Chain A
Amino acid sequence: MHDRRLLYLTRDSLLVIRWHKGEQTADARFPATPAGPDAFAAYLNNHPQARYTLLVDLADEAFHLESLPLVRGGDRRRLIARRQNQLHLDTPFVTHIPLGRDRAQTGECRHERILFTALTRPSTLQPWLDALGHAGALLTGVHSVALVGMSLLRRLHTTEPQILLVHTSPAGLRISCFDNGQLRFSRLVPGAAAQPEKWQACRDEIHRTCQYLASQRALPRGLKTPVLLLAHPDQHDVIRAACPDAPEFRLNLTDLPALAVRCGLRHPSTDSDALPLILHLAAQERRQPQLAPPHALQQQRVNQIAIAICVAAASLLSVSLVIAAKNLIDVRQLNHQAAAVHTERVAETSRNAALAALIPQLPLPRPLIQASLAQLAALQALSAGPAGLFSQLASILDTHPEIELQQLDWTGIPADSPVQRVHLEAALPAASAPDTRALFTRRFLDALQTLPDSTLNIERQPNTADDRQVLRPSDPAAPTDLPRLGLRITLQPPRP
């Protein structure tokens, strides 16, 4: 995955540069002859795991600036594709660069400017791409040096709205025009860098380019266009002498090695060749416009799918590891808690066993003891017997001599609330008049009412039987039996 190689394609050859952490090493060169692609195919077979990025430095480039209605989404894609077809560029190596909204067109920003750029001689690239395709090599993209110039310009931090960028490379002298940092036009003058009077030729090419761009209204007329020329400081004096300022442009010399170092290049070139810097930016910059047709990047998409699968697998594994780690941490905590609870339970059980061993043995089952105690408590209330009641009755009878006690039936009931029940029968004087008997009875009953916590129930009145009885001649004149009073008394036993 780290074996990355840059393919620098010029009109004459294909140069393979191995790129590793900013280090560039020329690995192979294949001439643009019929044997070149075959040798390149053999080279590819020897390096099947490498990733290749093709950087094209050819003079056969086309730039078309178009102003299209401002639409979005699928409409925009269809509109751009239709416009691209209408340009009849006749090459699969086409791309477009949005340059922002076109304020000059309508003033209402209803259009956007799009630069269509193409490599207009596909036959130059196709043999090399075929070799890459047949070898199954991984091609990450096809870029042009002109498009990489936008990255270079960003590193220069220039604020000029229109500017020309001039640099040399093994392919020749490249002059690019930028409008607000976006590429507007670029041209390569092949072989110009190899000429002895190259800086003089450079001045002429800049002059020519300025005139062309002014005619295309890409540069304003009457203003000096700033020109940034990347060159080694050793040659700045020579350049200044060969390229004085002209009415159309103003030359600004830039220290190429210093710029290369600022951009992170470890070994900048010792001359004015900007290729190492261009290659470095091409390797480092992501999301650069690229010109390869979709089918040329199939292997890249396969590789992206493979990377996506790997990322998904790694993510899945990571998530599962996190969940598993959490589960295992929980298991550890749960086991600690269970162990603590187990220890507590064992201690509780042993405490219980120790306490159980100390429980005194009872001679009887405890429920039997409790029931016996409850029954004893109820019986204890009756232990005084009828003596107290007899004494109270004797006192009452002493004060009622006309009442003669005939029968007394006492019963003690040992319930939850123990009671005494007394059935009493008393006789009244036979000779007394009914009114007198009633008076005696009432007085006796009143005296009985004074017994504490007592309830009286009269079962038989001395007069009632006489009143209800049918008297006949056979009956004696007076009853032989004494008039009797029957009572049932319920009362609380005396407190022991």
Chain B
Amino acid sequence: MKPPLPDLRRLQGPLVAGALAIVTSASLIAWTNTTRNTAEALLRKEIAQLAEAREQHAETRRTDTDARTALRQLSALQTAGLLTPADRQGWQTHLHKLRQTFQLDRLDWEISPLKPFTPDDPAVLAKPTALVASILRLHGEVAHEEQLLRLIQRPPANRAGLFVPRHCRLARRALDETEARPPALSIDCEIDWISLRLPDQVR
């Protein structure tokens, strides 16, 4: 007699339970893994943003320090008179007075209006600046170099700005037997009267 086949209905419950367990386990692990990945991504993002905020704070500190340093430097420049523009009228008066004193009939000059400072060699000034200058072009004849030195000095009553001779050419004038004048020096000089121009000064 053939033995009866086993009743496989007993496996139905466990198989269903096993399938449910597999689905539940997979879903649970997938869900928690996704949640964990999301949390990790959020943490990474927050850490990156914190680093960025710290970098910004450090940059702000540097900017603050630099700004305060620049302000101190500007204050020092103001104290030194370097923020005061050239006194062209005073300069003119000073030169007239010297020409009269030294009787320099053949002395001529030209004082330019204030304009941005540009050196002879543009390569020297690699970066733009806020410097302005009034340029004195002095040419003519003087009796001797002492007169020249007086002419290229700043007016004694005015200590503002930076007074910088740019170049100076002097040559001994050849004697002309027909002239009754004593020997003289021919001069050709350029002097910059430089200052730092701030926006309110422009206004």
Contact = CB atoms under 8 A, between A and B. Distances in A.
Interface stretch (B12-20, B90-98, B105-113, B134-142): B12-20
A379 B10 contact: no
Given A335-B42, A342-B46, A372-B129, 6 more contacts: A328-B35, A341-B46, A366-B66, A369-B74, A370-B70, A375-B125
Main secondary structure of the interface of A (DSSP, over half): helix
Interface string B59-91: 011011011101101100100001000000000
Contacts, number: 233
Nearest to A133: B4
A309 B166 contact: no
B22 A313 contact: yes
A306 B26 CA distance: 21
Contacts of A319: 25
Q: Please classify how large the interface on chain B is, using the bins under 10, 10 to 19, 20 to 34, 35 or more.
A: 35 or more
Interface of B: 1, 3-11, 13-15, 17-18, 20-22, 24-26, 28-29, 31-33, 35-36, 39-40, 42-43, 46-47, 49-50, 53-54, 56-57, 60-61, 63-64, 66-68, 70-71, 73-74, 77, 82, 117, 119-121, 124-125, 127-131, 145, 148-149, 152-153, 162-172, 191-192, 194, 196, 198-200
Given A320-B24, A363-B198, A385-B152, A351 B169 contact: no
A327 B33 contact: yes
A409 B125 contact: no
6 contacts: A295-B3, A348-B53, A359-B63, A368-B128, A372-B130, A382-B165
Contact of A306 (B13, B63, B148, B192): B13
Contact of A317 (B21, B67, B165): B21
Contacts of A86: none
Given A375-B129, A414-B119, A390 B162 contact: no
A283 B62 CA distance: 86
A394 B169 CA distance: 16
Contacts of B82: 376
Contacts of A314: 21
Q: Please classify how large the interface on chain A is, using the bins under 10, 10 to 19, 20 to 34, 35 or more.
A: 35 or more
Interface stretch (A157-165, A229-237, A400-408): A400-408
Nearest to B2: A295
Interface string A301-332: 11101110110111011011101100110110
A333 to B, nearest CB: 9
Contact of B164 (A299, A356, A372, A382): A382
A380 B162 contact: yes
